[in-house]
């Protein structure tokens, strides 16, 4: 029996799946039940915890970036979850307000959106922006004020980017929390943002979190994709993310962040 | 023609059959999202009163999507069994509910080819959960490939050993774990992270070798697009079951990249391989309420009726397994535990009534208002309803697809509470290798012969 326990422990090391749990009769052990319940609670809290937009704006402004608030047409979390269409539309007054505060045309609008995990945004958006700024500076990209958007889905960025007269928009959004990844941030890059863009016209960088794709690497990927998008005039399925190959072939490229 | 129902001084009117069926559907977020749900609780029950008075003949005569406009409608009407329909053709929806409650297993089998998805959906809308359970339990749908699925008193399990990067050692470890809990008689089925034919081939060989090495009376499947599986079959790779996600309208299926013709081609290729030792039911389909709406291909029809239409697609190819992935799609279609439980029972009932071997992926995502207690409730109800199979996912946590399904332990629970057995051939195999006693109960502390495999991969 102890030999078998040892084998199960080794097998469990081969996969993140919950194997070799043992059992208590037909049920799971108390430890497994509690472990699962805690993970689910963290994922639930990530979905329902409101984003602290004010604190985020203070932190982003501390990086030397201007910020603007915005909201979708979903009034609360329940409406947001039931009506994906409302989460994609800007609140009525916000379009005009954003357009009024837009300066000259710019290269990139950055949108921080709560999506399905405020926790992902709280923990990973600022590190990502901080890591991205040197890339933007080196490339000479002009940035719009960073928009912090509540009850927002990815497509809300299209209206924001259009209002801010940006050539491209990058939406930093809390992803649907997995049981062991309540803090995962996604980044969606769309060239020439305007209403009616489809997901096939975006590039996605997902699983941005300390235990996944680190903010430094994600910032490098975003920089790589944006430079390609601006040079080639497209984003989406026809723009393949080959930044991994660049990283692998030439770990000394000047843009590579220190790891 | 408009439908009307009078409640007190108020006349409720419904413009057409599609409207009536949508308004009569027990509440769910997807129909509200589509803008077709009843506005008030009274309207919903007025619609149910009205629907109960509609003759089955009228439902047959008024296709919700025109014959000329949709290949699924054509399939439903062209394959409708008129002779079998004679037995129920004189009934209204309300009469039909009572007919079903009193019908024998043999009667239900006889009328199955006469039941269109719209008829099944209509009657389900005026049935309570207990009706859905009682009637489904009496339906018998038995299928065979390398074992026998769906015999009375049995529950099969799909072993789902997914891995985020398709790592062969990680997948093998999860399979050995699942087999040790007595899971895997429905199928050992992997959702691959990669969709390349190369990756598919590696996984198919892994499954084939494992099944042969241990002489397991079961079948394998890698759940990838049917065109990829067709290519794998052309390359001579060991394909047991052919998988495809299907939906209830031609346009939604087009969104999945499939047509009925393509499914027919894959079905024939599967039959040509003759890999089933006991039978030739070699197709595996997955479905789920909301898929047509999310593909913008719903024609203003409620999501539960469209789901039943997907079973008509499945039925045409004599599948081994069909399951609804009931809580996977998210809260904009099924908001909470109550809606997921109701939908799971409806889907299972409609499938069985139509003669389809329906299993259920009892599941939810973290943004739905649901938890493990809701899953326990639905699993127990489905066990009582005679559900063909459920999923076996390590610890209920699918680390590739990021959702929660039922665990290896959950099926043990259901067997203990309801006395359900596995497919008989698989049950005999587990006993022969010393994992279970003569009654199918797992033996505690028995030497596990399957672990001979583990030395190689976990060295």
The pLDDT value recorded for residue A254 is 43
Q: Which of B366, B393, B458 sits opposite A43 (nearest CB)?
A: B366
Report whether B294 belongs to an annotated binding site: yes
By CA distance, what is B448's nearest residue in A?
Answer: A4
B415 is in an annotated binding site: no
Q: Which residues pair with A168 in a beta bridge?
A: A108, A191
Among A241, A117, A124, A137, residue whose Cα is nearest residue A189: A241
Average pLDDT over residues A75-86: 94
The verdict on a CB contact (< 8 Å) between A14 and B170 is yes
**Which of the two residues, B258 and A199, has the higher pLDDT score?**
B258
Kindly indicate the confidence band of residue A259, based on its pLDDT and cuts at 50, 70 and 90. very low
What does the buried/exposed string (b/e) look like for B117-146 if buried means 16 or more CB atoms within 10 Å of the residue's CB? bbbbbbbbbbbebebbbbbbbbbbbebbbb
- Find which of B163, B183, B366, B370 to mutate to test the A interface (most A CBs within 10 Å of its CB): B366
Task: Measure in Å the smallest separation between the Cα of A167 and chain B Cα atoms.
Answer: 29
**Whether the predicted pLDDT of B201 surpasses 60:** yes
Residue of B nearest to A84 (CA): B332
Mean pLDDT score, A140-153: 97
Asked if A178 lies within 8 A of B167 by C-beta distance, the reply is no
Whole-angstrom distance, CA of residue B361 vs CA of residue B248: 18
Q: Quick one: residue B389, left, alpha or beta (phi over 0 = left, psi -120 to 50 = alpha)?
A: beta
Q: Where are the alpha helices (DSSP H) in A53-155?
A: 53-61, 77-82, 84-87, 92-101, 118-139
Measure in Å the smallest separation between the Cα of B201 and chain A Cα atoms: 21
Please report which confidence band the pLDDT of residue A256 belongs to, taking 50, 70 and 90 as the band edges.
Answer: very low
Q: Do A19 and B394 count as a contact with CB atoms less than 8 A apart?
A: yes
What would the mean pLDDT of B103-114 be, rounded to a whole number?
98
With beta carbons less than 8 A apart as the criterion, state whether A112 and A55 touch.
Answer: no
With a pLDDT cut of 70, the percent of chain B lying above it is 99
Q: How confident is the model at residue B15 (pLDDT cuts 50, 70, 90)?
A: very high
Structure tokens at B448: 């596990």
* Chain-chain contact of B395 with A25 (C-beta, under 8 angstroms): no
Q: What is the mean pLDDT of residues A169-196?
A: 93
Neighbours of B448 (CB within 10 A): 19
Distance CA B429, CA B214 (A): 9
Chain B: nearest CA to A152, how far in angstroms?
A: 15
Q: Among B32, B163, B402, whose Cβ lies nearest the Cβ of A82?
A: B32
Tell me the C-alpha to C-alpha distance, in Å, between residue A201 and each of A25, A196, A197, B274. Answer: 52, 10, 7, 43
Task: Let me know: does B233 contact B206? Beta carbons within 8 Å.
Answer: no
Mutate to test the interface with A, among B28, B363, B395, B452 (most CBs of A within 10 A): B395
**pLDDT 10s digits, B91-104:** 999 999 999 999 99
Check A83 against B458: CB less than 8 A apart.
Answer: no
Instruction: Answer whether B371 touches A (CB < 8 Å).
Output: yes
Q: Do A17 and B399 touch (CB under 8 A)?
A: yes
A225 contact partners, CB below 8 Å, separation of at least 6: A189, A203, A205, A235, A239, A241, A243
Name the pLDDT band for B459 (thresholds 50, 70, 90): low
B3-138 belongs to CATH 1.10.220.70:
yes
Does the pLDDT at position A255 exceed 70?
Answer: no
The CA-CA-CA angle for residues B348, B352, B355, to 5°, reads 150
pLDDT band at A258; cut points 50, 70, 90: very low
pLDDT tens profile B399-416: 989 899 999 999 999 999
Cβ atoms of B197 and B231 within 8 Å: the answer is yes
Q: Do A15 and B458 touch (CB under 8 A)?
A: no
CA atoms of A66 and A143, how far apart (whole Å): 9
Q: What is the pLDDT of residues B122-131, one digit of tens each?
A: 999 999 999 9
Percent of chain B with pLDDT over 90: 93
Residues of A in contact with B331 (CB under 8 A): 81-82
Rounded Cα–Cα distance for residues B340 and B336 (Å): 6
Q: Is the CB of residue A168 less than 8 Å from the CB of residue A161?
A: yes
Residue pair A125/A52 in contact (Cβ under 8 Å)? The answer is no
Which residue ranges does chain B devote to CATH 1.10.220.70?
A: 3-138
* 3 state SS of A179: coil
Cβ–Cβ contact B32 with A under 8 A: yes
According to DSSP, residue A202 is labeled E
Q: How high is the mean pLDDT of chain A?
A: 92
Quick: pLDDT tens for B81-90.
999 999 999 9
Whether B419 and chain A come into contact, CB under 8 Å, resolves to no
pLDDT tens-place string over residues B321-365: 999 999 999 999 999 999 999 999 999 999 999 999 999 999 999
Q: Give yes or no for B454 touching A (CB within 8 A).
A: yes
Residue B192, marked binder: yes
Quick one: pLDDT band at residue A253, thresholds 50, 70, 90? Answer: very low
Task: Identify the CATH class of B143-432.
Answer: alpha beta
Averaged pLDDT score across all residues of chain B: 96
Shortest alpha-carbon distance between residue B3 and chain A (Å)? 29
Binary contact (A11, B415; C-beta < 8 A): no
Give the torsion sign (CA, A211, A213, A216, A217): positive
**Is residue B244 marked as binding?**
yes
DSSP string, B104-165: -HHHHHHHGGG--HHHHHHHHHT--HHHHHHHHHH----EESSSEE--TTB-EEEE----TT
Band the pLDDT of B455: cuts 50, 70, 90: low
Q: Coil, strand or helix: which one is B11?
A: strand
Is A116 exposed, middle or buried (CB count within 10 Å of its CB: 0-12, 13-18, 19+)?
A: buried
Picking from B281-290, B295-304, B439-448, which range would have the lowest pLDDT averaged per residue? B439-448
- Count of alpha carbons within 13 Å of A185, Cβ hemisphere only? 30
Q: Which residues of B touch A153 (CB under 8 A)?
A: none
Degrees (nearest 5) of the Cα angle B45, B46, B52?
A: 85
Mean local confidence (pLDDT), A101-114:
94
Distance from CA of A13 to the nearest CA of B (A): 8
- Which residues of B are less than 8 Å from A15 in CB distance? 163, 167, 169-171, 173-174, 394, 399
Contact A40 B366 (CB under 8 A): yes
Residue A168 is given by DSSP the state E
Q: What domains sit in chain A, N to C, each tagged with a CATH number?
A: 2-47 (no CATH), 51-249 (3.40.50.11240)
Q: Give me the mean pLDDT over the A41-67 stretch.
A: 96
User: Quick one: pLDDT at residue A251?
Assistant: 54
Kindly tell me if the per-residue pLDDT of B1 is higher than 70: no
Classify strands B156-159 and B148-149 as parallel, antiparallel or unpaired. Answer: unpaired
What is the DSSP annotation of B202-237? HHHHHHHHHHHHTT-S--EEE---HHHHHHHHHTT-
- Chain B, 276-295: which have a CB under 8 Å from a chain A CB? none
B40 DSSP 8-state letter = S
Residues of chain B with CATH 3.20.20.70: 143-432
Residue whose C-alpha is closest to residue B292's, from B272, B308, B278, B277: B308
Does any CB of chain B come closer than 8 Å to the CB of residue A150? Answer: no
* Selection from B408, B364, B365, B366 nearest residue B390 by Cα: B408
Higher per-residue pLDDT: B386 or A3? B386
Say how far apart CA B406 and CA B409 lie, in whole Å: 8
This complex has an ipTM of 0.94
User: What distance in Å separates residue B127's CA from the closest CA in chain A?
Assistant: 26
- Give tens-digit pLDDT for A25-48: 999 999 999 999 999 999 999 999
């Amino acid at each position: 029996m102890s030999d078998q326990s040892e084998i199960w422990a080794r097998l469990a090391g081969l996969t993140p799946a919950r194997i070799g749990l043992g059992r208590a009769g037909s049920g799971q052990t108390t430890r497994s039940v509690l472990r699962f319940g805690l993970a689910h609670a963290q994922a639930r809290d990530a979905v329902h915890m409101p984003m602290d937009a004010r604190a985020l704006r203070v932190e982003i402004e501390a990086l030397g970036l201007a910020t603007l608030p915005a909201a979708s047409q979903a009034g609360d979390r329940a409406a947001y979850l039931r009506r994906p269409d409302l989460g994609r539309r800007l609140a009525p007054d916000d379009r005009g307000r954003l357009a009024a505060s837009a300066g000259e045309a710019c290269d990139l609008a950055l949108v921080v959106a709560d999506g399905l995990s405020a926790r992902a945004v709280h923990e990973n958006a600022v590190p990502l922006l901080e890591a991205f700024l040197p890339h933007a500076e080196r490339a000479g990209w002009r940035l719009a004020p960073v928009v912090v958007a509540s009850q927002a889905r990815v497509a809300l960025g299209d209206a924001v980017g259009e209002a801010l007269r940006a050539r491209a928009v990058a939406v930093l959004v809390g992803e649907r929390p997995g049981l062991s990844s309540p803090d995962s941030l996604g980044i969606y890059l769309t060239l020439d943002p305007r209403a009616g863009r489809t997901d096939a016209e975006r590039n996605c960088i997902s699983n941005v979190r300390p235990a996944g794709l680190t903010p430094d690497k994600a910032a490098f990927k975003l920089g790589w994709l944006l430079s390609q998008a601006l040079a080639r005039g497209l984003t989406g399925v026809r723009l393949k993310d080959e930044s991994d190959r660049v990283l692998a072939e030439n770990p000394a490229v000047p843009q590579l962040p220190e790891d | 023609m408009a439908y009307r129902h009078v409640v007190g001084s108020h006349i409720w009117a419904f413009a057409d059959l599609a409207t009536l069926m949508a308004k009569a559907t027990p509440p769910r977020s997807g129909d509200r999202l589509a803008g077709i749900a009843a506005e008030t609780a009274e309207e919903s029950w007025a619609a149910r009163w009205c629907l109960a008075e509609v003759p089955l003949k009228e439902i047959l005569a008024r296709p919700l999507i025109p014959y000329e406009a949709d290949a699924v409608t054509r399939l439903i009407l062209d394959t409708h069994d008129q002779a079998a329909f004679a037995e129920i053709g004189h009934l209204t929806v309300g009469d039909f509910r009572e007919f079903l409650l009193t019908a024998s297993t043999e009667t239900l089998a006889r009328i199955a080819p006469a039941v269109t998805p719209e008829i099944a959906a209509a009657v389900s809308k005026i049935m309570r959960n207990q009706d859905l359970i009682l009637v489904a339990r009496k339906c018998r749908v038995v299928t065979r490939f390398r074992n026998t699925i769906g015999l009375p008193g049995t529950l099969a399990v799909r072993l789902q050993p997914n891995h985020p990067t398709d790592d062969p050692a990680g997948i093998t470890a999860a399979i050995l774990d699942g087999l040790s809990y007595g899971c895997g008689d429905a199928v050992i089925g992997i959702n691959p992270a990669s969709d390349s034919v190369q990756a598919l081939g590696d996984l198919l060989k892994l499954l084939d070798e494992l099944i042969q090495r241990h002489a397991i009376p079961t079948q394998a499947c890698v759940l990838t697009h049917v065109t990829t599986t067709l290519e794998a079959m052309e390359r001579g790779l060991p394909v047991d079951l052919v998988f495809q996600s299907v939906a209830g309208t031609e346009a939604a299926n087009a969104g999945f990249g499939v047509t009925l013709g393509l499914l027919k081609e894959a079905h024939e290729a599967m039959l040509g391989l003759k890999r089933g030792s006991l039978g030739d039911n070699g197709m595996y389909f997955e479905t789920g309420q909301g898929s047509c709406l999310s593909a913008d291909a719903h024609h203003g029809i409620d999501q539960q009726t469209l789901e039943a239409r997907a079973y008509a697609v499945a039925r045409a190819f004599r599948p081994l397994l069909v399951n609804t992935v009931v809580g996977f799609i998210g809260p904009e279609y099924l908001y909470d535990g109550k809606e997921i439980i109701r939908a799971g029972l409806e889907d299972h009932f409609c499938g069985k009534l139509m003669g389809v071997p329906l299993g259920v992926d009892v599941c939810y995502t973290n943004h739905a208002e649901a938890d493990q207690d809701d899953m326990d409730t639905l699993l127990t109800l489905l066990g009582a309803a005679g559900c063909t199979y459920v999923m076996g996912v390590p610890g209920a946590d699918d680390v590739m697809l990021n959702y929660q399904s039922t665990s290896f332990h959950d099926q043990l629970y259901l067997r203990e509470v309801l006395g359900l057995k596995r497919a008989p051939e698989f049950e005999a195999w587990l006993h022969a290798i010393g994992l279970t006693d003569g009654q199918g109960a797992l033996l505690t502390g028995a030497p596990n012969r399957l672990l001979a495999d583990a030395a190689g991969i976990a060295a």
